[in-house]
Chains A and B, each alone.
Chain A
Amino acid sequence: MAALINVPAKAKRGDIIEIRTLTSHIMETGFRHTVDGALVPRDIITSFTCRYNGTEIFRADLFPAIAANPYLSFFTVARESGKFEFEWIGDNGYSSTASASITVE
């Protein structure tokens, strides 16, 4: 699925940087019914993880009340050059990944 990641391309060592992520997902709550009364099964992202050069730096659990196409923003300290890896896991075996690089001077 499409994801939009915003990580600064360059940062000074020790800088606090903001990371913003936006991903496509319908986030069907599981509380809605169709016109003929059948329950629309829940289909949401349940977990989001961000790893910085392999080390987990941020994790979030997501719930049915979260809107479609979840947007998450968080902060970290730029320690070294390398890669941020993002992973979204959800219902029905949903899994989506993305990555972004940073150069730390």
Chain B
Amino acid sequence: MNFWRAIVLAALAATAPALLAGEIPPDARRSGYSFMGPDTRAMQDDDSSNPGMLFVLDGEALWTKKAGSAHKACADCHGDARSSMKGIAARYPAFDKALARPVTLDQRINLCRANHQQAAPLPYESRDVLALSAFVAHQSRGVAITAGDDPQLKPFVEQGRNLFMQREGQLNLACTNCHDDNFEKRLAGSPITQAQPTGYPLYRLEWQTLGSLERRLRSCMTGVRAQAYDYGAPELVALELYLMSRARGMPMETPAVRP
């Protein structure tokens, strides 16, 4: 009898950490903004000191600039971005029917360039693609995130969730080990956040430039000594989609500033 009780207790003790680990309740979710110091918050809050706004200005110029052999600008189809692009970034990555998979905002911009402007694709993380996506996402500032609501996206959200929970790299860490279980603690002096992707593309002071969520994910993967997926890889898009659906209902902040 005592023997069996001991086994049950041992089994409970062994599974307890697994039970404690888990997703953040909706009302406990916090933007990376709330983990920053007052100086960095002030930098983000004031549009005349937020360096991300320089990219938004560049994006606004690119929006009306004709490109490709079709000699069309974004504005020729989409009109005034302030109305036509409001809330769009809040539901990306979105399902693309022709490709039968989700695409990110950057990929959507390049699909538009290929299909409608007959222009060469902009390389990932190039200034122009970041400027355009910052300009488009800026129109959704304050809009609640709804990415992942499309039922067709369900398997991809699930794939992203599995990747988020999967240990990888020489340090054998999953995203969840830091961002669900240990946020608010510190890693090498920096606060560990909840990984809520509310402000992408965002200006990181460490990068001294704007960067996409994919760049951020790749740096995390390098950080745990894993082989990072290539830009545009379906795994990165799935992770991005899961993170956005995990932040469902949180307001967009693009362009955010982060240390």
Contact = CB atoms under 8 A, between A and B. Distances in A.
- Interface size class for chain A? 10 to 19
A99 interface: no
Nearest to A21: B48
A4 to B, nearest CB: 5
Interface residues of B, number: 13
A2 interface: yes
Interface stretch (A9-17, A66-74, A82-90): A66-74
B49 interface: yes
B53 interface: yes
B51 interface: yes
A6 B49 CA distance: 9
Contacts of A5: 48
A24 B49 contact: no
A24 B51 CA distance: 8
Contacts of A24: 54, 58
Interface in B97-129: none
B49 A69 contact: no
A41 B135 CA distance: 31
B170 interface: no
Interface string B229-254: 00000000000000000000000000
B204 to A, nearest CB: 11
Given A67-B208, A68-B209, A69-B208, A20 B48 contact: yes
B57 interface: yes
Given A4-B48, A5-B48, A23 B208 contact: no
**Residue among A2, A3, A24, A67 facing the most chain B CB atoms (10 A cut-off):** A2
11 contacts: A3-B54, A4-B47, A4-B49, A4-B57, A20-B48, A20-B49, A24-B54, A26-B208, A26-B209, A68-B51, A71-B49
